[in-house]
Amino acid sequence: MSQFFMNQKQHVVNEAIEGALLSTPHHNLGRLALGAQMRVVVRNDWDKSRVALISGGGSGHEPAHIGFVGKGMLTAAVCGDIFASPSVDAVLHAIINVTGEAGCLLIVKNYTGDRLNFGLAAEKARGLGYQVEMVMVRDDIALPDNPQPRGIAGTALVHKVAGYAAEQGHSLAQVAALAQQAIDATSSIGLAFTTCHVPGETRDDHRVPEGCSELGMGIHGEPGASTLKTQNSRESVAELVKQLTAKGNQQPVALMVNNLGGFSALEMAVLVRETLHSALGQQVKLLVGPATLVSALDMKGFSLSVMQLDPELETALLAPVEVSGWCPAIAPATLTEIPAKTAQQLESYAPSDNAQAAAIIATVCQTLIGLESELNQLDAKVGDGDTGSTFAAGARSVLEASEAHQLPLNQPEALLTVVGDKLATIMGGSSGVLMSIMFTTAGQQLAQGVSLAQALTAGLERMQHYGGAKVGDRTMIDALQPAFAALLNGDDLTAVAAAARQGADSTSTMRSAGAGRSSYLNQDSLDGVKDPGACAVEKVFAALAGR
């Protein structure tokens, strides 16, 4: 099964380049008219007055390298097929189209294909009279005995430093020297849970055992140095940091936290935290990321790069650029907690007594507690069988507070608000929140001087606004709305209870539900069964009328 979003495999790179050009925020990129097979993206504001910087390689590492083309970084990027070096001709045409008298520097990741193709293109360009130098990035430290360390994410840092030098008008020799200084100061190491999905190919999902990660997996999915028996963020970062700090250098560093393509922003934030809290954290003067800078398609992995800083490298990393793929370097922020008010601090009420209010609360709560089993059995037919327990839990909490003289019984507006708070906390699920909305709004309305009937009606309107249900949707609203309408009309409690009963009865003939868990059931499951919430409302008003 394909795990890659595309039209046709043979067109995916060209179509991706077109998408990148259409979406560049600085409108400063173009593609050389060299046909579909030679893919060279260049600055369209380039005047050849400064040293040109060219990089590139196989596609699949986006935003590298197109995302780094622009003022302050690369002059051109040469794109091969996915994970395949661009051709010698493509690199050569990039050189001859962007290089002026100041010359050109090729920045190449240390892979055989890139070394050979960029190297031969450089030789051909020199034969045509162009000044060309080449540096190779070798920042991967995962395989310490490898005589040819790979170029990985640290390449982006080298692009940034070299781009700064070129933008300052330095000579080709000076730009090349600073680029080499950046290379020598940079180390990177990565870790991944899985390799990546290459278009049209089946991924080996069994290479890394479940629950493990691979240290040093390459940016094309090449085997790494070892398998770690962990996917824990702290343990993983600790292993990478141990490798990066092995030489014991204590000078300030720039840290780049790079997403290899498949980690979420949430995970990357956790990794940044772990790294800054690690043994390396105290050395970090500049932070780049977390960001996807040099990816490996959708590889679920990340890499850490560190550059040993001196004043010139620090200045270079902080210089502004006009590219789409770079993440500006910053000094790590300091954690601060801003003093905050709590909702409890804003609420002030004193317990008070009111015999009539206490009696009403006792009637309502005892009724709901007594209905627990009946409502659960009813709900089992049309829901998840817990309506009775949910209402009973809220009722017990309110009743206990009343009997302990903890409620402002003589302050109706405060009482409604406190009841709303308790229901939201104790009842859980959507029922508790909806009831809390109704009581909280009603309390606010009472405080503004409206009648209890008007306040409850306003609360019901807010409940419907946030909950989305209306009369006819087969919910408790089918009983609440007619009951509150009767209260608003000045009817006595007997009439109010009758209205609630009629509304509740209507739910048993409704063939579909527009809200709540019953909305997932077919009409045969609902036919003849009263909505449990509406039934609870009916029974409460009946109890109040019978006092």
Residue pLDDT, tens place only, 336-364: 999 988 776 556 788 999 999 999 999 99
Q: What's the CATH number where 282 sits? A: 3.40.50.10440
What tokens appear for 86 in the block?
A: 């661009």
Judge if 284 and 164 occupy the same domain: yes
Name the phi and psi angles at 285, rounded to 5.
-100, -35
Report cis status (omega within 30 of 0) of the bond before 290. Answer: yes
Judge if 145 and 258 occupy the same domain: yes
How far apart (Å, rounded) are the C-alpha atoms in residues 164 and 141? Answer: 26
From the list 304, 215, 323, 301, the residue with the least C-alpha distance to 254 is: 304
How far apart (Å, rounded) are the C-alpha atoms in residues 346 and 188? Answer: 51
What stretches of 283-340 show up as alpha helix (H) in DSSP? 311-318
From the list 91, 85, 136, the residue with the least C-alpha distance to 113 is: 85
From the list 426, 461, 432, 425, the residue with the least C-alpha distance to 444 is: 461
Catalytic residue list contains 277: no
Judge if 223 and 139 occupy the same domain: yes
Judge if 377 and 306 occupy the same domain: no
How far apart (Å, rounded) are the C-alpha atoms in residues 527 and 512? Answer: 9
DSSP string, 376-421: HHHHHHHS-S-HHHHHHHHHHHHHHHHHTT-SBTT-HHHHHHHHHH
Q: Cα torsion at 148, 154, 156, 160 (round to 10°)?
A: -110
Q: How, if at all, do strands 213-215 and 301-308 pair?
A: unpaired
Using alpha carbons only, give the angle 326, 297, 134 rounded to the nearest 5 degrees. 55
Judge if 307 and 359 occupy the same domain: no
Residue 336 placed within a domain: no
- Which of 26, 220, 277, 465 is catalytic? The answer is 220
Q: Cα torsion at 164, 166, 171, 176 (round to 10°)?
A: 70
Judge if 41 and 134 occupy the same domain: yes
Tell me which residue has tokens 């069994």. 206
Judge if 313 and 360 occupy the same domain: no
Residue 203 placed within a domain: no
Examine the fold and report which residue of 262, 289, 318 is the final residue of a domain before the chain moves on. 318
Using alpha carbons only, give the angle 287, 108, 272 rounded to the nearest 5 degrees. 20
Strand ranges (DSSP E) for 211-272? Answer: 213-215, 226-228, 253-259
What tokens appear for 455 in the block?
A: 């306040």
What tokens appear for 150 in the block?
A: 């790979």
Q: Please write the tens of the pLDDT for every residue from 12-42.
A: 999 999 999 999 999 999 999 999 999 999 9
Using alpha carbons only, give the angle 122, 47, 32 rounded to the nearest 5 degrees. 60
Residue 2 placed within a domain: no
Burial 262-277 (b: 16+ CB within 10 A, else e): bbeeeebebbbbbbbe
* pLDDT-flagged residues of the chain (< 70): 1-2, 344-347, 382, 511-528, 547
Residue 153 · residue 290 · CB < 8 Å:
no
Judge if 285 and 395 occupy the same domain: no
Compute the half-sphere exposure of residue 401: CA atoms within 13 Å on the CB side of its CA. 24
How far apart (Å, rounded) are the C-alpha atoms in residues 119 and 127? Answer: 13
Amino acid in the structure at residue 346: L
Q: What pLDDT is attached to residue 528?
A: 57
Q: What pLDDT is attached to residue 449?
A: 95
> Which residues are CB-contacts of 508 (< 8 A; sequence separation ≥ 6)?
528, 529, 530, 531
Judge if 417 and 472 occupy the same domain: yes
Compute the half-sphere exposure of residue 266: CA atoms within 13 Å on the CB side of its CA. 0
Query: Domain containing 489: what range?
Result: 355-546
How far apart (Å, rounded) are the C-alpha atoms in residues 116 and 328? Answer: 32
Name the phi and psi angles at 434, rounded to 5.
-65, -45
Give the number of other Cβ atoms within 10 Å of residue 505's Cβ. 15
> Which residues are CB-contacts of 127 (< 8 A; sequence separation ≥ 6)?
none
Q: Is 477 helix (H, G, I), strand (E, B) or coil?
A: helix
Q: Is 181 helix (H, G, I), strand (E, B) or coil?
A: helix
Residue 406 placed within a domain: yes
Name the phi and psi angles at 192, rounded to 5.
-145, 150
Residue 4 placed within a domain: no
Q: What pLDDT is attached to residue 379?
A: 85
3 state SS for 327-338? CCCECCCCCCCC
Judge if 381 and 506 occupy the same domain: yes
How far apart (Å, rounded) are the C-alpha atoms in residues 38 and 50? Answer: 24
How far apart (Å, rounded) are the C-alpha atoms in residues 92 and 55? Answer: 12
User: For the whole model, what pTM was predicted?
Assistant: 0.81
Q: What pLDDT is attached to residue 2?
A: 61
Judge if 300 and 390 occupy the same domain: no
Residue 368 placed within a domain: yes
Judge if 314 and 359 occupy the same domain: no
What tokens appear for 123 in the block?
A: 């030789």
Residue 341 placed within a domain: no
Q: Cα torsion at 266, 268, 270, 272 (round to 10°)?
A: -150
Q: What's the CATH number where 421 sits? A: 1.25.40.340
How far apart (Å, rounded) are the C-alpha atoms in residues 99 and 93? Answer: 10
Residue 6 placed within a domain: no
How far apart (Å, rounded) are the C-alpha atoms in residues 270 and 263? Answer: 11
Structural domains in the chain (count):
2
Residue 119 · residue 267 · CB < 8 Å:
no
